Amino acid sequence: MLNTRNKVLLSVLLCLPLVLAFVEELDDSFMETRGADDTWLIKFYAPWCTFCKQLDPVWHQIGSELKSLGSPVNVGKSDATTNTGLAKEFRVRGYPAILMLKKGVKYNYSGPRTKDGIMNFADRVGGPLVRSLSSLQLFQHAMNRHDVMFVYVGATSQLKGNYTSVAEELIIHTYFFSAARDVLPKAVSLPSLPAVVVFKDGTYFTYNEERDGDLKSWINRERFPNYFKIDSYTLYAMGESGKLVVLALVEEKNLCEDSLRYKSLVEKVAADHREIYGRSFYFGFMEGGAYISGLVMGEVIVPSFVVVNLSNDGYFLPPGDVETEQQLMDFLNGVLDGSIQCQGGNSAIQRVRRFIYDIKVTLTPIFSQAPLLGCFLVGFPLAIAAVFCYLCRKARSTMSDDDDDGVTMSAPSLQHHKKRTDKKSD
């Protein structure tokens, strides 16, 4: 039995270098030594960063899996505190930072730090900008895989050039496809070609420049389902679109009757009144109220409704109970016409208040679980600040005394000076 264990251990140790080899450690010379057409998925980390350490085993799994799939994406990592030149080249601001370099273009990943999320990002950005769907079977397969799918239909045109340019910028968020007209299902009716179509929520919508404006803005607005479960990462990304987000806040488990009703109300308004509210709102539900509590700087009631404006950290609360579909629509109409006041925001005062709130939220659990540690964390910086102020005041007082000594004459000297002045006058 001991020999068996030793064999297993030896096998693991022999395989370990192979697994680690799938992730290459990069230094400041990387930009000069890389191939011009190489595609790299890179994690920037700091040795002291806890989140970086938690991500490390996932990162090696990603490197191993991409290699086994035959992906052209190379996986690397770099210590940003040591390789500062490379970190500056990629404009790293926090840790862990995940970016992809493809033919000289840098793409930043801002989604959840999970294996599935990062693998999806690597597949999306590492592949073709616009993927061709050459058959109805491929089209149906893509439809089954993606909740939201943008498709260019038609021959080469100026619209296709614009579509490709948008894809190069927004590929970090969604997939882009192209297809011939005969590849689409027969139920899809297009008024004219070429066309850009978005398929989502069991239906499709065609882009119209006169109605929808700029193509990039339209795609950015339409890249989310009309109603779905929203997490903090997705909610943050929604802020870039300019739309407001209608949320039903519900429990994380064992939904009560009110939670089920709130979810149903939001879903029904999203589906039945898309033409009225689709250009202004996203709809969804969020489990738990921790993220929104941080936004409103207070405890939110669960279940409840809230409309969030992530572009300026503002929010809207219903003025009264929302029990029916019409009451929810009245609430949304009030948000649109300005009769319901936006709260919060990102003004200087609000930022200070949010900073104080974050400190309070961070320290409260520490004081409740370890009062002595809490007192030390608060008292030590205050003591340092008090000593610093005292030393500054003492130094200023000393300088003031020195100045007084330099310009003040003693009484005998002043009298002698006066006599000499009087003699000169005589």
Distance from C-alpha of 383 to C-alpha of 387, rounded to nearest angstrom: 6
Amino acid identity at 161:
G
Is 164 within 8 Å of 129 (Cβ atoms)? yes
3-state DSSP helix/strand/coil percent for the chain, to nearest 5? 50, 20, 30
Where does 338-370 have alpha helices with state H?
A: 348-369
Return d(Cα 94, Cα 91) in angstroms, integer. 9
Q: Is 49 assigned a catalytic role?
A: yes
Chain position carrying tokens 């900008």: 129
* CA distances, 343 to each of 296, 302, 319, 386 (Å): 8, 19, 12, 36
Q: Which of 170, 167, 220, 219 is nearest to 198 (CA)?
A: 219
| Closest CA relative to residue 42, chosen from 63, 65, 70, 11 | 63
| 256 part of the active site | no
Q: Which of 15, 52, 256, 375 is catalytic?
A: 52
Residue ranges of E strands in 230-364: 244-250, 281-287, 304-309, 314-316, 343-344
SS (H, E, C) 21-78: CCEEECCCCHHHHCCCCCEEEEEEECCCCHHHHHHHHHHHHHHHHHHHCCCCEEEEEE
Q: Residue 242 phi/psi, 5° resolution? A: 90, -5
Q: Which residues pair with 39 in a beta bridge?
A: 73, 102
Active site residue: 15, 49, 375, 389, which one? 49
Active site residues: 49, 52
